[in-house]
Amino acid sequence: MPTGLIALIVVTVLVYFGLAQRVLDRMHLTDKQALFFLALMIVGAYVNLTLWPPPTQLVINIGGGLVPLFLAGYILSRAGTQHEWSRTALATVITAGAVYTAGRLLPAEPGTMLLDPTYVYALIAGITGYLSGRSRRGSFIAATVGVILADVIYFVRLLATGTPGRAAIGGAGAYDTVVLAGLLSVLLVEVIGETREKLAGGSEEELYEHRLRGIQATGSGRDAEHLRERTGKGEGRE
């Protein structure tokens, strides 16, 4: 069984028993919504759609390509501010560039690499998504959609140069990469974010509320509104 499917099944069990509630809350997802998307990704792993015919073929996997795109769009639609939209879009482009560049620089033969390419690209996407996305939502979207966008860039290059080939969005090894990259990015935010909160003397939510109360006490409504817009009501911690 592919590593991505195993990871999704494990996450599904955690969500079902309520062990991922904190993360889901900060991504603005309910248990039912998360289970719905997880089920679609698991079932959709076995379904491919051809978007462009051979000799330069483009195929998208439902579970590893289409569903993650819908999930990313749904999560982003619930983002607090235009600032978060812009930052997430930029983070996605940066992640896609990092993954695509790695694909061009790394050895063409997987057997010559110390680590399976699936895990290498997942690590690159997950870490880059975390560093550029910052929030749980931004990091997850940047990591997953970044991998998908890198495959699209690869297809465009094949098409532009007239090179026969096959680009699989979210299919085959890319399925595992998308899943693992998304999980890794959220895990990094969760672990490192918690550490930063402890070192800062409290959670970012508490710090945000403290700052907001201080601004409101001075009667500066404009400063309070600016704080809400800049943080998306604690956007950096979500």
Q: pLDDT by residue (tens digit) across 205-233?
A: 555 455 545 555 555 555 545 545 554 44
Contact 48, 62 (CB under 8 A): yes
Residue 80: the pLDDT is 65
| 167-175 mean pLDDT | 90
- What pLDDT shows up at residue 236? 42
Report residue 140 as tokens: 């997850």
Q: Which of 137, 150, 158, 126 lies closest to 235, judged by CA? A: 137
Closest CA to 238 of 141, 137, 142: 137
pLDDT of residue 221: 52
pLDDT digits (tens, 9 = 90+) for 7-39: 999 999 999 999 998 889 888 899 999 999 999
Residue 69 has pLDDT above 60, yes or no: yes
User: If we measure between CA atoms, which residue out of 94, 12, 18, 78 comes closest to residue 45?
Assistant: 12
Residue 178 near residue 99 (C-beta atoms within 8 A): no
Query: What does the mean pLDDT of the chain come to?
Result: 85
Q: What percent of the chain has pLDDT over 90?
A: 61
* CA angle at 234 for the pair 231 and 236, rounded to the nearest 5°: 70
Decide: helix, strand or coil at residue 233: coil
Q: Is the per-residue pLDDT at 177 higher than 90? A: yes
Q: What local confidence, expressed as pLDDT, does residue 171 receive?
A: 87
Residue whose structure tokens are 């997950």:
126
Distance CA 226, CA 173 (A): 44
Q: What's the pLDDT score for residue 204? A: 52
CB distance 6 to 42 below 8 Å: no
Q: Could you tell me which residue, 160 or 2, shows the higher pLDDT? A: 160
Identify the pLDDT of residue 66: 97
For residue 110, the model assigns a pLDDT of 64
pLDDT confidence bin for 81, thresholds 50/70/90: confident
Following DSSP, what letter does each residue of 25-51 receive, concatenated? HHTT--HHHHHHHHHHHHHHTT-EEEE
Give the pLDDT of residue 31.
Answer: 95
Count of Cβ atoms closer than 10 Å to residue 45 Cβ: 23
pTM above 0.85, yes or no: no
Task: Please report which confidence band the pLDDT of residue 83 belongs to, taking 50, 70 and 90 as the band edges.
Answer: confident
Tell me the C-alpha distance between 192 and 207, whole Å. Answer: 17
